[in-house]
Amino acid sequence: MRNRWRYLVLLLSVGLAAACTGVDGGEGGDGEGGGSYPRAQTLFTSGTQWGAPVNWNPIMNWTYATGTVGLVYETLFLHDPLTGEFEPWLAESGDWTNDNTYEVTLREELTWTDGEPITAEDVVFTVNLGEMKSVPYNELWKFLDSAEAVDERTARFTFSEPRYQQWANWVYFSPIVPKHLWEDRSEKDVTAGANENPVGSGPYKYEAHDQDRQVWVKNDDWWGKEALGLDVKPRYVVDLVNSSNEAALSQLLAGEIDLSNNFLPGIADLVKGGYKLHTYFSQAPYMLAANTTWMVPNTTRAPLNDPAFRRALANSVDVGKIVNSVYGQIVSPADPTGLLPIWDEYIDKAQVDRLGYSFDTNRAKSLLAQAGYRDTNGDGLVENKDGSPIELTLATPSGWTDWNESARVIAEGAKAAGINLTSETPADTVVQDIRESGDFDLILDNQRQMDNTPWRYLEYVFGLPIRESQTTVNYGRYENQQAWDLVNQLDATKIDDRAGMKAVISRLHRIQLTELPMIPLWYNGLWSQASNSVWTNWPADSGDAPRLVPTMWRGYLQRGAIKMLAELRPAEQQ
Amino acid sequence: MSLAVEDLRVYYRTLRGDVRALDGVTFSLADHEIMGLVGESGCGKTTLGKSLVRLDGRMRHVGGTVTLDGRELPIGEDARMNEFRFAEVSVVPQYAMSAMNPTRRIGRMVRELVGSRGIPFASVRSELDRRLALVGLDAEVLERYPIELSGGMKQRMVMVISTLLNPSLLVADEVTSALDVSTQRAVATALAGFRDRDLVRSMIVISHDLSLVYQIADTVTVMYAGRLAEKGPTEVIVERPRHPYTQLLISALPEVGVRYGGKRLAGIPGSPPSLRPPPPGCRFRARCPLAYGKCAEQPPFAEIEPGHAVACWRAS
Amino acid sequence: MARYFGRKLLIYALTFFVAVTINWLIPRFMPGDPVRAMVARAGLQTPEGVAAMREYYSSLFGFDVPVWQQYLNFWGGILRGDLGVSLLAFPEPVTSLILGAVPLTLGLLIPAILLSWWAGNKFGAYAARKKVLDNAVLPVWYVLTATPYMWLAILMAWALGKVAGLFPVGRPYSASLVPEWSWLFITDLVSHWFLPFLSLFLVAFGGWAIGMRNMVIYELEADYAHYLSSLGAPPKLVRRYAFRNALLPQITGLALQLGVIVGGAVVTEIVFDYRGLGYLVLEAIKATDFFLLQGIFLFIVIGVLLANFVIDIVYVLVDPRTRAGMGGDR
Amino acid sequence: MTAPEPVSGESGPEVAAVPGVATVRGTGVRREALYFAVRNRKLVGGLAVVVVFLLAGLVGPLLVGDPLAYVGPPAAAPSGEYPLGTTTFGQDVLAQLLHGLRATFLVGTVAALIAGVIGMLVGFTGGYRGGLVDEVLNMITNIVLVLPVLAVLMIIAAYLQVRDVLVQAVIIGLFSWPWVARAIRAQTFSLRAREFVDLARLSGMPVRRIVFREIAPNMASYLFMVFILLFGGSVLFAATLDFIGLGPTDGISLGLMLNHAKQWSAMNLGMWWWFVPPGLAITAIVGAMYVMNVGLDEVFNPKLRET
């Protein structure tokens, strides 16, 4: 009846009435006919691609079309951050043959989708690409001496200074590219080319793309079907471009999207509301923790160069209000060390109890008073020790509404404690600018994702040297050589030496908790909302459901999410 | 006698009460008569002209009759009047410069106008050409837009259109006021020519310009404050007016041909009374040098000699 | 007539020049460096890598030449139809992004503008002669013109889309369909198109209806109308003339309102997640994609100028007064 | 957003064609206008709506708390305690609406004043001086007129990072004047040909005095209507900019409320109380202003008076 109405109104209003006689009233929607992706065999995803898919270059790991790495290009290993395990993928095995040498052996009979075999030469070639300055893993070559193919399937890497943690990161994170198609490319092509018609090795192949979507089709000849016993279920994976969360939510509710990795405010109520929606946890915080949101103080500016002041500031932030009111409980407060829950074992709880902090406006006030910050002009806000007024701003990129709102709450809390802090929302590019150049008071940042090693986080906090332009780490320009040495020591610790790692991390955390070079606030969620109307058996923390990271975000398919596609089951058709 | 107006009353409706713009006007017009109608601004002469053809939205026919060729005109009923318009009564409006639709070729406009009255254009086409020639216009103007015509041409064109169906009565309202002096004369001659050729049976020429009236009118009617003051043959009115207002009007003009326009007459102190409602008695009383006790009573518009009527106690 | 068009063209050329210059100038004075932004996204750690990338992007965006040459190059690019490379969808050229979005926007705009103009004029003229109707609908029209485009769009999307479920809301066509000439696809396309169209149509409709109503009332009081009535022409003829003449200023009004309606389309698209130019605008703003924003702005300016010129020509065709050489300034 | 130009003003000669009332001038006209004004339903009704909202915007914010504070339960539907409900964060929608009204009136007034003044200066100067000055001014007017205003505002607002309502008002004002200049220029052309201006000129009054003493007062009613149209247009422009995220970053406005409601999925979550009131308020204010304008037009332009 509803459909009738819809078409009636439609036809009347657009004047197609004449045209419709003789045509068998097309019942739109499921679209079994040609010209549509069969709904029951297609997985619709969203939440990674914010603009039209325009490049399929696995090296441009911040912008490639959703699925380029994972569905098409594959890595040597998979790392599942939920279990902390590495799983051989293209590699059959990989081992340190001595302290300085690592050997990786590929599986047998791997082929690229153009039919060429995948050999150790491809692996060596991919690593060698890192010698180009603008390739993201250029850093590798600071401690890597040589890469060579020992035979068809074995590659050997010799290190001048082995950094086990970083290398472990590389082997699962960076995709292998086919040498025979890439060897003639210039540096520009490698790091900025679109790489149309990508040829990879994974379970899917390029099918089509449009301004608003990326379509992958199943690669029936995928090696993993036999070698791993994994059969990805959706014939098509259609990743939809959605630049607004609101649109994504609307499509999810309408059953047009199966998996939304968007930040969807209000989702908590909807999950309970009978929309066939699914989240990893069935109650708060609903989402896995994907990364930590840090407040980064510029430690080169007074009074933020004073650890006591930073501590007072940390105490003034009402994280609970952010978690409950801004996010509606889909995030959780961060540990004072900032380490994600997956790294819980590395947190020295006793030390955190001793040195940690929590929201307490009065404590913040007394800390300020102890440190000598007083309100000398009676406006309710403290002044610098030399009597000059304190005027701090917290910059968050405009349009990042949750952060803008959180920043407002932070500023409110700071004011309550007597710190004159205001929230500011310059353009995204401006925030990037000031973040790199150090021309800011306070910013929020959450660039480090869940990963194979806490080293990634500690490198982010303590990274040295300070350069004119801080591009990836230590935006607050905190200088502590001792801490940086410890971070490097951690990097050089073997990944199975848990005790060794813990010892170093504990020492680093002691510094971190006393000095507060950055202030972790809350864990951003691994936003993931799935609809059970077409596909079921989504990852969850309970029952028989697979324990996997349920997302299509860049970098996460090689963190185990690819296996989710094999675990999916078609929903019962009513 | 072609036109007879009997005690005609037409009021303007305003939110503050009726304005008695025509308050009991009685006169008649003989066949072939051209009557000049003069008076100050706001005296009601344009209202009288409109009343005979088409009342505008705010005018209300309150009383009195208008009889044309023995038939009473339904002047208060817009739709019924249509039957008489154009064919029986017609008008050359004071806004002749802008009377034609600016976006239609003139010929087409005439065709549509005539057609809308149920008359085939073809049946009047040859007559139209003849009349264009009569007023000195080329038939080619029908292919033009109004904007391409000069003021005088437009004026003559409108005259041709208005008289196309040989109306019994033509009301010409300020037909020359927008023209320069030489064109005025040509237009006036053309008007008289229409009457002389019997294309128009009788005519009322409303004007500020006494010289025009003097030139073509057989009789002159003077209006003051919604009523007729005096009517008589042109020579009589100009040379021996009997109504004090007419006298002042004539004498105030240094020489014939000067307009008295919209400005207050210098020679007559005071201003016309408000017509909302008018004061009782003679309306000119307040400004009249000859006013006396009797004037508190309204004087009748009475004939003092054949063809010469005056509304003044002093005159009778 | 040549003078009339010459003058118009001169104005358009100057407008274009001003628009291009503003467009080129503004981002150069504003904070936020697109090169740095691009480099930052790559997440490079080593200073050498950063420097190499920076050099690459600088030359790609044409920032490595003197400022005057950048300006000339900008013009050169425009004339070649090259509006640079998008930051948001790197390395896609801005032109191709815009061309991909334009059909959808035009598909909304052209019917909305033409139909609202046509219907608004018809209704306005109709209401002008019925006092009762006029009093009843006039306030409604005023409320319509006073409605913010996006709010009406939100209301429609919510009431007709979400609550009543009569029409789909979001995207130009269902995600499951592949664009092609099939009945299924076309009905889907049309059903997605209808609500955004309707909300644009309604707001614009109110404006036209009011304009027409006022113009017709004015025209009905014009001398030629009185003259015709005095000659006993039936009201039908008078109204026909009044309508036609009242249309003329409405044509000029169309030119004046174009920019506003385009703005309306932008926000309407945003509400309906309709992937036309308006959607791109929002994208560009969110991502501070200077080049895309510049490109869209230029495109809109060119579109509006072209439409203005077309309207000028139409105007000359329908209004004899301009042809007579009088209306040098209309 | 459409700014219907007032139809009055084009009616030059028809001061009062009614006999017997033809002589009213000066204070008489004013008294008569007032007489009709208080009896015009459109004018009085429109004014009443505007005044109610204006008072709400002026007084309301004093009665409610911080519009951004989280005071109530999240996403609560309208109730006795929160008559317009709360936002997804638990902010009081009524408080936001009242503060937003204030911003709306501020934007409308400031932008309309700026545009009105520029338009008047350009229009008067061009229309009165004529010649080359007029040519140049008219050219500039035409250029700004053809530029799609909203697109220009978007570009500028995007780059300028508009922070507060006043800046927004200024940039809107700076680009909304051309049609005013045009209309005023035409009016000045016709007025300067009138005799009283000639008289003033003959008596040696300086140009400025003639414009402000003789011409401007005669156009006062027209200018008032222009102001109203500019006000309405500016409010709609501001709301549009706010909505696409180019609004002020501090404080609250009706457009920002719509922006927030959209960004936080109020539509999908069924929170109609978040997005209906702000749009309704804009529509009511601007609509009432427009209706007022019709009323004014009828008052000043006897042809349109209801009889």
Q: How far is CA C271 from CA A62, C158, C203, C261, C275, in A?
A: 28, 10, 15, 15, 11
Residue of D nearest to A429 (CA): D159
- Cβ–Cβ below 8 Å for A266 and D245: no
- Residue B176 sits in the same domain as residue B290: yes
Contact A280, A561 (CB under 8 A): no
In chain C, which residues have their Cβ closer than 8 Å to the Cβ of D288?
146
- Cβ–Cβ below 8 Å for A471 and C40: yes
C27: contact with A, CB 8 A cutoff:
no
* Count of A-D CB contacts under 8 Å: 52
Residue of B nearest to C234 (CA): B116
Contact B58, D18 (CB under 8 A): yes
Residue of D nearest to C19 (CA): D147
- Residue B238 sits in the same domain as residue B315: yes
Q: What is the per-residue pLDDT for A57?
A: 92
- Residue B222 sits in the same domain as residue B274: yes
| pLDDT tens-digit readout, B33-78 | 999 998 887 788 888 988 888 887 778 898 889 998 888 888 888 8
Q: What is the per-residue pLDDT for A125?
A: 95
Mean of pLDDT values over C61-76: 86
Query: What is the distance in angstroms between the Cα of D204 and the nearest Cα belonging to chain C?
Result: 31
What pTM was estimated for this model as a whole?
0.83
- Of C285, C296, C329, nearest to D244 by CB-CB distance is C285
B177-182, long-range: CB < 8 A, 24+ apart: B177/B94, B177/B207, B177/B208, B177/B209, B177/B259, B178/B94, B178/B96, B178/B97, B178/B151, B179/B151, B179/B152, B179/B155
Query: What is the distance in angstroms between the Cα of B202 and the nearest Cα belonging to chain C?
Result: 17
State the distance between the two ends of chain D, measured CA to CA, in whole angstroms. Answer: 31
Q: How far is CA A241 from CA A45, A212, A403, D74, in A?
A: 9, 5, 22, 30
* Count of B-D CB contacts under 8 Å: 41
Q: Mark which of B115, B139, B165 sits at the end of a domain.
A: B165
Q: Where are the alpha helices (DSSP H) in A276-359?
A: 307-316, 319-321, 349-355
| pLDDT tens-digit readout, B133-155 | 888 888 899 998 888 888 888 88
C226: contact with B, CB 8 A cutoff:
yes
Residue D144 makes CB contacts below 8 A (sequence gap 6+) with D175, D177, D178
| pLDDT tens-digit readout, C37-63 | 778 777 777 777 788 888 888 888 888
Contact A277, A531 (CB under 8 A): yes
Q: What is the per-residue pLDDT for D214?
A: 67
| pLDDT tens-digit readout, B213-230 | 888 889 999 998 888 999
- Residue B173 sits in the same domain as residue B69: yes
- Cβ–Cβ below 8 Å for B101 and C326: no
Chains A and B touch, contact meaning at least 3 pairs of CB atoms under 8 angstroms apart: no
Which positions 50-69 of D are in contact with C (Cβ < 8 Å)?
none
Contact C85, C93 (CB under 8 A): yes
Mean of pLDDT values over C204-208: 89
pLDDT confidence bin for D15, thresholds 50/70/90 = very low
Q: DSSP secondary-structure letter at C288?
A: T
Q: Report phi then psi at A234, rounded to 5.
A: -65, 135
pLDDT confidence bin for D207, thresholds 50/70/90 = low
D217: contact with C, CB 8 A cutoff:
no
- Of D23, D36, D307, nearest to B58 by CB-CB distance is D307
- Cβ–Cβ below 8 Å for B14 and D21: yes
CA distance C24 to C14: 15
Q: Report phi then psi at C199, rounded to 5.
A: -70, -35
In chain C, which residues have their Cβ closer than 8 Å to the Cβ of B84?
232
C163: contact with A, CB 8 A cutoff:
no
Q: Say whether pLDDT at D17 is over 70.
A: no
Residue B301 falls inside a structural domain: yes
Domains of chain A listed by start with CATH number:
39-68+202-282+527-573 (3.40.190.10), 77-188 (3.90.76.10), 289-525 (3.10.105.10)
Residue of C nearest to B49 (CA): C230
- Residue B5 sits in the same domain as residue B71: yes
- Residue B153 sits in the same domain as residue B142: yes
- HEC-encoded secondary structure of D261-302: HHHCCCCCCCCHHHHHHHHHHHHHHHHHHHHHHHHHHHHHCH
Torsion angle in degrees (nearest 10) through CA of D27, D31, D33, D37: 150
Domains of chain C listed by start with CATH number:
2-80 (no CATH), 94-326 (1.10.3720.10)
Residue B191 falls inside a structural domain: no
In chain A, which residues have their Cβ closer than 8 Å to the Cβ of C86?
51, 54
Query: What is the distance in angstroms between the Cα of D247 and the nearest Cα belonging to chain C?
Result: 12
In chain D, which residues have their Cβ closer than 8 Å to the Cβ of C28?
none
Which positions 174-213 of C are in contact with A (Cβ < 8 Å)?
174-180, 182-185, 187-188, 190-191, 194, 198
CA distance C304 to C255: 8
Task: Mutation target for A interface from C26, C38, C45, C53: give the one with most A CBs within 10 A.
Answer: C45
- Cβ–Cβ below 8 Å for D22 and B21: no
Quote the tokens at residue D254.
Answer: 């009706």
| pLDDT tens-digit readout, D103-129 | 999 999 999 999 999 998 898 888 877
Q: What is the per-residue pLDDT for A321?
A: 93
CATH of the domain at B289: 3.40.50.300
Low-confidence ranges of chain A (pLDDT < 50): 1-33, 574
Q: What is the per-residue pLDDT for B15?
A: 65
- Cβ–Cβ below 8 Å for D158 and C288: yes
In chain A, which residues have their Cβ closer than 8 Å to the Cβ of C284?
none
Q: What is the per-residue pLDDT for C5?
A: 81
- Residue B142 sits in the same domain as residue B177: no
- Cβ–Cβ below 8 Å for A243 and C49: no
Q: What is the per-residue pLDDT for D30?
A: 61
If you average pLDDT over every residue of chain C, what do you get?
Answer: 84
- Cβ–Cβ below 8 Å for A44 and C273: no
- Of B90, B98, B147, nearest to C231 by CB-CB distance is B90
- Residue B179 sits in the same domain as residue B228: yes
CA distance A537 to B9: 93
Residue of D nearest to C150 (CA): D240
pLDDT confidence bin for D12, thresholds 50/70/90 = very low
D264: contact with B, CB 8 A cutoff:
no
In chain B, which residues have their Cβ closer than 8 Å to the Cβ of C248?
103
CA nearest neighbour of A458 among A434, A488, A430: A488
CA distance C110 to C114: 6
Which positions 1-40 of D are in contact with B (Cβ < 8 Å)?
18-23, 35-36, 39
Asked if omega into A285 is within 30° of 0 (cis), the reply is yes
Residue of C nearest to D258 (CA): C151
- Residue B219 sits in the same domain as residue B251: yes
Q: C touches which chains (3+ CB pairs under 8 A)?
A: A, B, D
- Cβ–Cβ below 8 Å for A266 and D268: yes
How many domains does one find in chain B? Answer: 2
Q: What is the per-residue pLDDT for B185?
A: 80
Residue B194 falls inside a structural domain: no
Q: What is the per-residue pLDDT for B254?
A: 52
Query: ipTM more than 0.90?
Result: no
Q: Say whether pLDDT at B282 is over 50.
A: yes
pLDDT confidence bin for D304, thresholds 50/70/90 = low
In chain D, which residues have their Cβ closer than 8 Å to the Cβ of A398?
161, 245, 249
- Residue B105 sits in the same domain as residue B36: no
| pLDDT tens-digit readout, B69-122 | 888 888 888 888 888 898 889 999 888 888 898 888 999 999 999 998 888 988
Residue B189 falls inside a structural domain: no
- HEC-encoded secondary structure of D224-241: HHHHHHHHHHHHHHHHHH
Q: Domain containing B47: what range?
A: 1-88+167-183+199-256+266-316
Quote the tokens at residue D214.
Answer: 């003789």
Contact B55, B171 (CB under 8 A): no
- Residue B177 sits in the same domain as residue B60: yes
- Residue B203 sits in the same domain as residue B289: yes
Residue B291 falls inside a structural domain: yes
Contact D2, C257 (CB under 8 A): yes
Q: D touches which chains (3+ CB pairs under 8 A)?
A: A, B, C
Mean of pLDDT values over D134-151: 81
Quote the tokens at residue A491.
Answer: 């990097």
CA distance D200 to D208: 11
CA atoms within 13 A on the CB side of B22: 25
In chain A, which residues have their Cβ closer than 8 Å to the Cβ of D87?
none
Q: B touches which chains (3+ CB pairs under 8 A)?
A: C, D
Query: What is the distance in angstroms between the Cα of C320 and the nearest Cα belonging to chain B?
Result: 6
- Of C224, C237, C248, nearest to B116 by CB-CB distance is C237
Q: Say whether pLDDT at D159 is over 80.
A: no
Quote the tokens at residue A471.
Answer: 């591009």
Query: What is the distance in angstroms between the Cα of C301 and the nearest Cα belonging to chain D?
Result: 6
| pLDDT tens-digit readout, D22-78 | 333 344 556 666 777 777 888 898 999 999 999 999 998 888 888 888 888 888 889
- Cβ–Cβ below 8 Å for A424 and D89: no
- Cβ–Cβ below 8 Å for C223 and B99: yes
Quote the tokens at residue B93.
Answer: 């409006």
Residue B151 falls inside a structural domain: yes
In chain B, which residues have their Cβ closer than 8 Å to the Cβ of D19?
12, 19, 21, 41-44, 47, 226, 275
